[in-house]
Chain A
């Protein structure tokens, strides 16, 4: 089954404790992205990747890092999480050209 898998689905943690949210897709898609969704602000792109070892900042990259060492994986790293990073996060992937994205189930992060 074609899918985008995120882990964990839920996480409550404390300020400053490094965390990683994993994202994996099995569709051989070139493009992958991370978004955060906050009430009243909609989905905002954090980082995106066009292919292995090629990443770029989206609209709200501050406080986040990503890597793309393999085509299928695109982890989101919060080196020193802060409460303003409490949000619902989505990973998405798509193939080349102007194709729509496929989303993971989401990860709800709470930073205390």
Chain B
């Protein structure tokens, strides 16, 4: 089993749609959680951190459920510019916070 698993995708959605990405992690000692966005052949860029209380940034909402070891990202009112790969990232665990594990990513295509 992979340490961080994401929906394989790709997701093809029309503009204006709401899209949900899901991610699960296997190490219950994991400490921090993030969503990154990666455009084709470019470097990953931080989209948002994920907190247990849930957090929102404009059209984006992230949730963390530690009991279920589950992370989600919701994008409302999708834009063409949201087309990218979304990476779930988990930091920490038994190695003392040094190990960063990336999910394989879920590709999103938003179409007009």
Q: Which residues of A contact B (CB under 8 A)?
A: 31, 33, 35, 40-45, 48, 50, 56, 58, 88, 90, 97-106, 108
Q: How far is the CA of A58 from the CA of B102 in the complex (A)?
A: 12
Interface string of B31-43 (1 = CB under 8 A from A): 1101010000111
Closest 10 CB pairs of A and B: A98-B32, A42-B104, A103-B43, A43-B102, A100-B46, A98-B31, A100-B34, A42-B102, A106-B43, A103-B44
Q: Which residue of B lies closest to A39 (CB)?
A: B104
Q: How far is the CA of A43 from the CA of B32 in the complex (A)?
A: 17
Specify which chain A residues have a CB less than 8 angstroms from the CB of B34 in the assembled complex: 100
Interface hub of A43, A44, A106 (most chain B Cβ within 10 A):
A43
Chain A at the B interface: SS class: strand
- List 14 contacting pairs A-B, 8 Å CB cutoff, sorted by A: A31-B98, A33-B100, A40-B104, A42-B104, A43-B44, A50-B98, A56-B98, A97-B97, A98-B91, A100-B46, A101-B46, A104-B43, A105-B43, A106-B41
Q: How far is the CA of A56 from the CA of B95 in the complex (A)?
A: 11
**Is B99 part of the binding interface, using a Cβ–Cβ cutoff of 8 Å?**
yes
Please state if A42 and B105 are interface contacts (CB–CB under 8 Å).
yes
Q: How far is the CA of A104 from the CA of B91 in the complex (A)?
A: 19
Specify which chain B residues have a CB less than 8 angstroms from the CB of A43 in the assembled complex: 44, 87, 102
Please state if B42 and A42 are interface contacts (CB–CB under 8 Å).
no
Please state if A98 and B92 are interface contacts (CB–CB under 8 Å).
yes
**Is B45 part of the binding interface, using a Cβ–Cβ cutoff of 8 Å?**
yes
Q: Which of B44, B87, B99 contacts A45 (CB 8 A)?
A: B99
Specify which chain B residues have a CB less than 8 angstroms from the CB of A108 in the assembled complex: 41
Q: Which residues of B (21-69) have their CB < 8 Å from a CB of A? A: 31-32, 34, 36, 41-46, 49
Specify which chain A residues have a CB less than 8 angstroms from the CB of B43 in the assembled complex: 90, 103-106
